[in-house]
Amino acid sequence: MDRSMARLEGKVALISGAASGMGAGSSRAMIAEGAKVVLGDVADEAGQQLAAELGHAAMFVHLDVTCAADWGNAVQAAISRFGKLNVLVNNAGIVNGGLLGIASEADWTRILAVNLTGPFLGISATIDELKRSAPSSIINISSIAGLQGMAGLHGYTASKFGLRGLTKSAALELARTGVRVNSVHPGGIRTAMTSAFPESAATAPMGRWGQVAEIVGVVVHLASDESAFTTGAEYSVDGGEAAGALHALGEHLN
């Protein structure tokens, strides 16, 4: 590509959960747009393979998002290898669930640790460097489950609503520092997380599952200075699912 047109030239990103799914897709897309990317994940083998495939603009670090020391190492790795850090994508996430009365406290504690405490630790570990290397962008991958309830997914929805709230408060606190903070709310996207569900289980008004490529365009936009006046915003990428109920009640009025 014509490097003068690259949208992320000069950006150095740290992406959690980068070994698969949307994290891997975001890593590829950001490097294609001129960024350097530190891929963090607990899946060491897959992460190392992807980094090797992506070449000199990528490096892999072992990162368990629930571990503050791992975050510290990841930031140090970004500085040593690429000299700065100005994009953080809090993408790592897990799903678990169960109906009330069956869902366990262990599952609840675990999902909040990964999906909500993880991003808090990530922001805390990177904030000094993000300010120093501003303009910077923090992108929190929430979910439509951060915009509306989902029966049987209590811990997941609580964690994703929490991440949306963390996004707003961080955006306000950092608004004058050159660090923007926004959340992305995917609907059902085809990744390992949703592989157990059949095509017919798609719940989006568009009538299909989303693809990873349909999320990463928004992530690249939010990482780039194209979105310089956008902070504290929430981006639904969900085939219309968060827009409301898909029941044509109006037809009964005719």
Ligand X SMILES: NC(=O)c1ccc[n+]([C@@H]2O[C@H](COP(=O)([O-])OP(=O)(O)OC[C@H]3O[C@@H](n4cnc5c(N)ncnc54)[C@H](O)[C@@H]3O)[C@@H](O)[C@H]2O)c1
| Stretch in the footprint of ligand X (CB under 6 A) among 36-44, 102-110, 169-177, 227-235 | 36-44
Question: Which of 170, 37, 14 is closest to 88 using CA atoms?
Answer: 14
Unique residue bearing structure tokens 């675990």: 110
| 182: enclosing H helix or E strand | strand 179-186
23 belongs to the binding site for ligand X (CB under 6 A): yes
Residue 212 beta carbon to ligand X: minimum distance, rounded to whole angstroms: 7
How many residues bind ligand X (CB under 6 A)? The answer is 28
Residue 237 beta carbon to ligand X: minimum distance, rounded to whole angstroms: 9
Binding residue (CB under 6 A) for ligand X from 52, 172, 175, 192: 192
43 belongs to the binding site for ligand X (CB under 6 A): yes
Catalytic (active site) residue 235:
no
89 belongs to the binding site for ligand X (CB under 6 A): no
42 belongs to the binding site for ligand X (CB under 6 A): yes
| 223: enclosing H helix or E strand | helix 212-223
Residue 244 tokens read as 């409301």
Nearby residues of 151 by Cβ (< 8 Å), 6 or more positions away = 99
218 belongs to the binding site for ligand X (CB under 6 A): no
Binding residue (CB under 6 A) for ligand X from 12, 13, 16, 111: 16
Catalytic residue among 60, 71, 82, 156: 156
239 belongs to the binding site for ligand X (CB under 6 A): no
Binding residue (CB under 6 A) for ligand X from 91, 137, 227, 236: 91
Q: Describe the strand order of the beta sheet including 87-90 as a list of residue ranges.
A: 58-62, 36-41, 12-16, 87-90, 136-141, 179-186, 234-237
C-alpha 163/C-alpha 120 separation (Å) is 9
Q: If DSSP states are collapsed to H, E and C, what string results for 59-103?
A: EEEECCCCCHHHHHHHHHHHHHHHCCCCEEEECCCCCCCCCCCCC
17 belongs to the binding site for ligand X (CB under 6 A): yes
Nearby residues of 249 by Cβ (< 8 Å), 6 or more positions away = none
Residue 113 beta carbon to ligand X: minimum distance, rounded to whole angstroms: 8
58 belongs to the binding site for ligand X (CB under 6 A): no
Give the catalytic positions in this structure.
156
Binding-site ranges for ligand X (CB under 6 A): 16-17, 19-23, 41-43, 63-66, 91-94, 114, 141, 143, 186, 188-189, 191-194
